[in-house]
Amino acid sequence: MEYDREGPQLPTARGPVSRAVGAHLLGTGPLPSPEAVAAAPAYGDDLQLALYQCYELHYRGFAGVSPDLEWDPGLLEVRAALERRFLAALRADTPVHDSVADAVGALLVEPLHGEGVSHFLRDEGELWQLREYAAQRSLYHLKEADPHAWVLPRLWGRSKAAMAAVEFDEYGGGRADRVHARLFADLMSDLDLDTTYGAHLDAASAECLATVNMMSLFGLHRSLRGALVGHFAAVEITSSPGSRRLAEAMRRTGAGPAAEHFYDEHVEADAVHEQIVRHEVIDGLLEQEPGLAADVVFGIDATGHLEERFGDRLLADWRAGRSSLRTPLPALRRARGESSHIS
């Protein structure tokens, strides 16, 4: 059997389900029982890490794990059970708008006195908090746009063409040095963080894992293509103002030019993407499949629900003066203004 030699290390287990999934991937133990899966809290560390491990086989896999396990029938059965619990929780807990117009309209309204994470980091965030934020977000940003690419074969016509155009921008417009995942790695270097793919998985909270797992859940299921489009719309519509605040936070703390550039790039690019997603991706999809409107709304609002949970966790920890991470980051090895490149 062939094994991946590259790729991140398997993460440390957070409970019986993630431990059993990890053992199965290494060939050292059985898969978790249905009873163990049923007992795991839907938003908890154990279930979310187990689901993340299953999904990661569709991206870069793990060192020492056979790529053939991507389609292992037993593992797919466990993944489906984990997904059912996660999706049921999302549907039960997400307050949804009455229409796509209402859901999109809410995204377009910037609160007069914002209290979210980007507002906090802009106004009073310290460098250690920016580093923690970047470390957790690296679970997505080092594969930025990849979960959304799964939806392309599931679309056609206007929505497919527009989605592909936005994805092309996310992948640097054909230039490797402008791929957004590369730009985020440069940001991490400015913040003296390990840029290795998957390096911060053990440190990330369950709330962070859930935001990434939702993208994979929506992207890997054709039946959830409307929800993926809704999720993508929520990200693109809210990205530009949020990125502006984060760019200001990077400048205020002297994080470095690459750290500033990542968010400056998103201010400009996502202002354009917002228009494309609203008028071509969503409208094109619903013109062909009007029955997916409720799924688009669910995708928009579920994104807001999980981002709010993640933001609440970050702010609760930071305002209490404690780390938001499960494992600590290494201390900064340089003064501000010096260059740092991590291999």
What's this model's pTM, rounded to 2 decimal places? Answer: 0.94
Which of 313, 320, 66, 322 is CA-nearest to residue 207? 313
Report the pLDDT value the prediction gives residue 144, as an integer from 0 to 100: 95
pLDDT band at 334 (very low <50, low <70, confident <90, very high): low
Computed over every residue of the chain, the mean pLDDT equals 94
Gap between the Cα atoms of 89 and 93, Å rounded: 6
Q: Region of 169 please: left (phi>0), alpha (psi -120 to 50) or beta.
A: alpha
pLDDT band at 274 (very low <50, low <70, confident <90, very high): confident
Q: Give percent of the chain above pLDDT 90.
A: 88
119-139: average pLDDT: 97
Helix 127-141 vs helix 180-190: crossing angle, to nearest 10: 150
Higher pLDDT, 154 or 271: 154
| pLDDT at residue 338 tops 60 | no
C-alpha dihedral, 110 to 114 to 115 to 116, nearest 10°: 30
Judge residue 337's burial from the number of C-beta atoms within 10 Å of its C-beta, 0-12 exposed, 13-18 middle, 19 or more buried. Answer: exposed
Amino acid identity of residue 246, one-letter, is L
Which of 52, 43, 46, 44 is CA-nearest to residue 13? 46
Helix 293-319 vs helix 73-93: crossing angle, to nearest 10: 80
pLDDT band at 270 (very low <50, low <70, confident <90, very high): low
Report the pLDDT value the prediction gives residue 340, as an integer from 0 to 100: 38
Assign 269 to helix, strand or coil: helix
Helix 206-219 vs helix 293-319: crossing angle, to nearest 10: 160
Report the pLDDT value the prediction gives residue 7, as an integer from 0 to 100: 81
Q: For 112-127, what is each residue's pLDDT tens digit?
A: 678 899 999 999 999 9
Extract the tokens encoding 18. Answer: 């993630």
pLDDT band at 248 (very low <50, low <70, confident <90, very high): very high
* Structure letter (DSSP) for residue 281: I
35-43: average pLDDT: 97
Q: For 275-284, what is each residue's pLDDT tens digit?
A: 899 999 999 9
Gap between the Cα atoms of 80 and 73, Å rounded: 10
311-317: average pLDDT: 98
Which of 182, 164, 186 is CA-nearest to residue 232? 164
319-328: average pLDDT: 97
pLDDT band at 342 (very low <50, low <70, confident <90, very high): very low
Report the pLDDT value the prediction gives residue 166, as an integer from 0 to 100: 95
Report the pLDDT value the prediction gives residue 271, as an integer from 0 to 100: 76
Half-sphere exposure of 51 (CA within 13 A, CB side): 31
Report the pLDDT value the prediction gives residue 339, as an integer from 0 to 100: 38
Report the pLDDT value the prediction gives residue 137, as an integer from 0 to 100: 98
Gap between the Cα atoms of 7 and 11, Å rounded: 12
Whole-number Cα distances in Å, 165 to 24, 104, 160, 170, 238? 39, 21, 9, 9, 19
Gap between the Cα atoms of 341 and 92, Å rounded: 45
| pLDDT at residue 4 tops 80 | no
Report the pLDDT value the prediction gives residue 333, as an integer from 0 to 100: 81
